[in-house]
Amino acid sequence: MQHERQHYVNGAWVEPLEPKLLDVVNPSTEEVFTQIAVGGAADVDRAVAAAKAAFPSFSRTSREQRLDLLKAILSEYEKRKSDIADALSQEMGAPVKFALERQAATGTGHLKRMIQVLEEYEFEKLEGTTLIAREPIGVVGLITPWNWPINQIVCKVAPGIAAGCTMVLKPSEVAPLNAIIWSEVMHAAGVPKGVYNMVQGEGHVVGAAMSSHPDIDMMSFTGSTRAGILVAQAAATTVKRVSQELGGKSANILLPDVDLQTAVTKGVVGMMGNSGQSCNAPTRMFVPAARHEEAKAIAKAAAEKLVVGDVADPKTNLGPVVSEVQFEKIQRLIQAGIDEGAELVTGGPGRPENLNRGYFVRPTIFAGVRNDMTIAREEIFGPVLSILPYKDESEVIEMANDTIYGLAAYVQASDVKKAREVSSQMRAGNVFMNYPVGDTAAPFGGYKQSGNGREYGKWALDDFTEIKAVIGYETA
C-alpha cells in the first residue's frame, strides 16, 4: 500500500496541507504497524472545494452514466476484495474468514443492491399538474466507523453516487487502511475528479470541520451516540441535513413456545460475532423466568465453544476488540456486572487463558440480570451477553423498550402470528424475527438515541436526495 500518508482529493493522491502522522495499531499484537496522515481544517476545505466544483456537472449526469460508474466501481472492488479483507484483519482484528466472507462481502452486496435500485428509482413523478422531483442534495460529508468499516463506507458512497451527489469521506482513524484501498478502487473505476474525496483524520478535528462546513449540504454519520450529538450540534449552525446511525442495546425476546436450544445458541453466536462490536447486536436476551436455568446452561455451552485467538486461523471465531481503549471499557463494564450482583455464568475479566497479549476478551455471559443494571443499560461493544428473566409478555415488551436506544430488536417464537404481534410493539428501526437472513434492501436505522434517517437500498437514495415541487409543470 502506497498512500497511507496521503489524502485523496480531486482525483489524485495529495500530500496533507497540515502534516501530522498517527499510529495504526494491530489489536492482535498491540504493535504499531504503519502510520497514516491525519488532516486538519485546511485539508477539509480543499476536499470540499473539489466536491463543490464537481457538483454542477456530476449532478446533471444521466441515470445510465451513474449506473455505468457504479458497475465499474463494483468490478474494481471485486479485484481488491481480498486486499480489503487482509487490511481489516490487520487493523481491526477480524478473523480472516470473517473479514472476507462477512466484512468485505458487504461491499459487494451494497453495490449490487444500489445498481438494482438505481435502475428502477423514480426521480420524477406527476401529482396532478405538479412535478415532484428528487434531486441530489449536494456535497455530502461521510463519517464512518471502525467496527464495520467497509460496509459503512460503501452503504454511504454508493447511494451518494447513485443520487448524483459529490462527497468527502472521513473514515475511522482506528481502522483506516480499508478506506485507502477503497479510494484506490474509486480511482481505478474512473470516478470523475472531485466527485469522491477522502481526508484521513480524527473526529474532533476533521469530523468537526466537516460538520460545520458551510459548503457541505448533508452529513451522514455512523458511530457512537456521544459523537453523533457533536456532529448534529456542529451541523446545526448551517442547517444542513444530518443522517445518523448510532448506538444500540438491542433486546432479543425468546417467547415461551420457542425451541430454547436453538434460540439461545443462535442468540449467543450472533451477538458475539465481530467480537460483539456491532451496534445492532442482540445484547439483552430475555427468557421466560421458568426457563432461566435452562437458558443459562445452553448459553454457557455456546459461548465456551467459541474459539478466540489467532485471526489467521480459519477455525477462529473471535479476534480481539479493536483497541486498548475499547478493551479497558469492556473490562470496566464486566466488573460492573459482577459488582452489581449479576451472575457470571462464563468468561469474566481479563484475556482468555491461552493469550498473553492483544486486546482479546473472554466471551462472557451474565444471567439473572436486571434491566436497571449497568450491563443492561450501557452499550458494551464486546462479547458480553446479558440474560434477563421475565414473567409475562407485557413485562418483556416493557423491559425491551426501556432503553434510550432503538436500533434493533429480535423476536423468537414458533408461533409466527405471536412473533409478529410482539414485533409490532418494539420501538426499534429493525426487528428480526426468528434469525432471518439479512436484507440489504431493508431500511437500516433507529429510533430514539440510535439515530435518524435510513441507510441501505432505496431508503439510502431517498436520504441523499432533496424534494422539489414544480407547480404548474403540466397544464390542467
For the chain, domains (ranges, CATH) are 7-246+450-470 (3.40.605.10), 251-440 (3.40.309.10)
Q: Are strands 251-254 and 284-288 parallel, antiparallel or unpaired?
A: parallel
Q: Are 111 and 76 in contact (CB under 8 A)?
A: no
Retrieve residue 243's grid coordinates: 443522517
pLDDT at position 227, please?
95
Distance CA 387, CA 394 (A): 18
Predicted confidence at residue 174, as pLDDT, reads 97
Contacts of 457 (CB under 8 A, 6+ apart): 113, 114, 117, 440, 441, 442, 443
Residues 6+ apart with CB under 8 A from 24: 4, 32, 33, 34, 35, 36, 91, 174, 176, 177
User: pLDDT tens for residues 328-378?
Assistant: 999 999 999 999 999 999 999 999 998 999 999 999 999 999 999 999 999
Reported as a single tens digit per residue, the pLDDT across 244-270 is 999 999 999 999 999 999 999 999 999
Q: Of the residues 76, 279, 379, 455, which is catalytic?
A: 279
The Cα 329–Cα 351 span in angstroms is 14
Q: What is the pLDDT of residue 476?
A: 62
Indicate the pairing of strand 218-222 with strand 241-245: parallel
pLDDT of residue 475: 83
Give residues with Cβ within 8 angstroms of 236, minimum separation 6: none
Mean pLDDT of 158-168: 98
Query: Is 245 annotated in the active site?
Result: yes
Q: How far apart are CA 132 and CA 123, in angstroms?
A: 8
Please say whether the beta carbons of 407 and 430 come within 8 A.
yes
pLDDT at position 189 over 70: yes
Selected catalytic residue, list 76, 91, 184, 245: 245
- pTM score, whole prediction: 0.97
Q: Is the pLDDT of residue 300 over 90?
A: yes
Question: Within 10 Å of residue 34's Cβ, how many Cβ atoms?
Answer: 17
Per residue in 126-156, pLDDT tens? 999 999 999 999 999 999 999 999 999 999 9
Which of helix, strand or coil describes residue 68?
helix
What is the predicted pLDDT for the residue at 1?
63
